[in-house]
């Protein structure tokens, strides 16, 4: 029987890589999107899966329920949704603070809450959130992003503690500097300085993050719960 996976943020660089990797592992992929319908539907068609729009928190539970009913359950949830609005901590506006926390933390909480009841019914599930090394080391001009990712990691541990006894694991993958649209500017402006702090002396590939996600989503990770797995080339060393 095929496992069913819902990937939120499927149209982003990391989300697409996760969708393709899970598909290669024999998982039926449901591509969750917000505002990029054509891209999500094209990806779903490529992988023989489906696309679904993930909107406000009030609608998440209903949307996830519809996914579970259509496919006979929900085994894997991957949250690859994230945003960053850079700015000085002193000058950051309330809007810039709130919007990043709403996307990176509030949405993650609502999505996990919506998915867990369907996993609890079968006493099986894998929940994986994409965090960031910024959650541990911060970053100049990224106070909102760093705080949201640090809080996300603590949230994951709390969920893991509560549902672990029910056969459900909840984990994080924390990428370092990965080649993507989000890191393009910082790689261009601070590439050499960043590389000097990465033991592998290169930036990561989306596919390397996706393989870590697929491992945590698979049967070999049955006894791994509540962790934050860095995929950063040794940046945190």
pLDDT per residue over 194-208, tens digit each? 899 899 999 999 999
Which one of the listed residues 33, 124, 145, 223 is annotated catalytic?
145
Dump pLDDT digits (tens) for 180-190: 877 778 788 77
Q: Can you tell me the distance from the alpha carbon of 179 to that of 202, in angstroms, rounded to the nearest whole number?
A: 10
Beta pairing class for 228-231 and 50-53: unpaired
Q: Specify the pTM.
A: 0.95
pLDDT at 220: 97
Q: Can you tell me the distance from the alpha carbon of 133 to that of 92, in angstroms, rounded to the nearest whole number?
A: 21
Residue in 83, 205, 196 with CA at minimum distance from that of residue 148: 83
Tell me which residues of the chain have a pLDDT lower than 70. Answer: 57
| Degrees, nearest 5: CA angle 208-26-35 | 65
pLDDT at 41: 97
CB atoms within 10 A of CB 94: 7
Q: Can you tell me the distance from the alpha carbon of 209 to that of 229, in angstroms, rounded to the nearest whole number?
A: 10
pLDDT at 184: 78
Q: Can you tell me the distance from the alpha carbon of 42 to that of 104, in angstroms, rounded to the nearest whole number?
A: 25
Catalytic residue at 145?
A: yes
pLDDT at 108: 97
């Amino acid at each position: 029987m095929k496992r069913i996976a819902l990937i939120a943020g499927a149209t982003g660089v990391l989300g697409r890589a996760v969708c393709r990797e899970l598909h290669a592992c024999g998982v039926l992929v449901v591509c969750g999107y917000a505002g990029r319908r054509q891209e999500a539907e094209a990806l779903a068609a490529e992988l023989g899966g489906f696309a679904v729009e993930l909107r406000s928190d009030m609608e998440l539970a209903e949307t996830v329920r519809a996914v579970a009913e259509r496919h006979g359950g929900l085994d894997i949830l991957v949250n690859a949704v994230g945003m960053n609005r850079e700015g000085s901590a002193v000058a950051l506006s309330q809007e810039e603070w709130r919007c990043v926390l709403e996307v990176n933390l509030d949405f993650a909480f609502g999505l996990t809450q919506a998915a867990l009841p369907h996993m609890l019914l079968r006493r099986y599930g894998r929940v994986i959130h994409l965090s960031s090394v910024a959650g541990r080391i911060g970053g100049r001009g990224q106070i909102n992003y760093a705080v949201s990712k640090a809080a996300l990691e603590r949230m994951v541990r709390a969920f893991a503690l509560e549902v672990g006894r029910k056969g459900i694991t909840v984990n994080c993958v924390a990428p370092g500097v990965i080649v993507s649209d989000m890191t393009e500017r910082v790689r261009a402006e601070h590439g050499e300085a960043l590389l000097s702090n990465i033991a592998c002396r290169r930036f990561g590939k989306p596919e390397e993050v996706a393989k870590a996600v697929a491992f945590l989503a698979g049967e070999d990770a049955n006894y791994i719960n509540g962790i934050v797995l860095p995929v950063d080339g040794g940046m945190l060393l």
